[in-house]
Amino acid sequence: MYYEIISSGSKGNCVIINDVMVDCGVSFNKIKDYLYDVKYLLLTHIHSDHIRPTTLENIKKLFPKIQIIGNHEVHQMYGVNTIVNAGFPVETDDYKFTSFECEHDVLTYGYTWVHEGEYIIYATDTSSLENAPNLHFDYLFLESNHCEKKIEMIQEQRNNFGYDAYAGAKRHLSTQQAKAFYYTHRRNRGSQFIELHKSSRFY
Ligand SMILES: [Zn+2]
Ligand SMILES: [Zn+2]
Annotated domain spans of the chain: 3-196
Mean pLDDT to the nearest integer, 134-146: 96
Give first-to-last CA distance, the chain, whole Å.
27
- Considering every ligand atom shown, identify the ligand nearest to the alpha carbon of residue 47 and give its number: 2
Q: List residues, by chain if needed, whose CB lies under 5 Å from ion ligand 2.
A: 47, 125
- Considering every ligand atom shown, identify the ligand nearest to the alpha carbon of residue 171 and give its number: 2
User: Strands across the sheet with 14-17, in order?
Assistant: 3-7, 14-17, 20-22, 40-42, 67-70, 82-83
CA distances for 74 relative to 46, 56, 107, 179, angstroms: 5, 11, 8, 29
Secondary structure letter of residue 183 according to DSSP: H
- With a pLDDT cut of 90, the percent of the chain lying above it is 86
The pTM of the whole model exceeds 0.85: yes
Ligand 1 geometric centre to CA of 146 (Å): 13
Q: List residues, by chain if needed, whose CB lies under 5 Å from ion ligand 1.
A: 49, 125
Is 90 exceeded by the pLDDT of residue 52? yes
> What would the pLDDT profile of 72-114 be if each residue is shown by its tens digit?
999 999 999 999 999 999 999 999 999 999 999 999 999 999 9
- Considering every ligand atom shown, identify the ligand nearest to the alpha carbon of residue 25 and give its number: 1
Ligand 2 geometric centre to CA of 10 (Å): 8
What is the assigned CATH class of domain 3-196? alpha beta
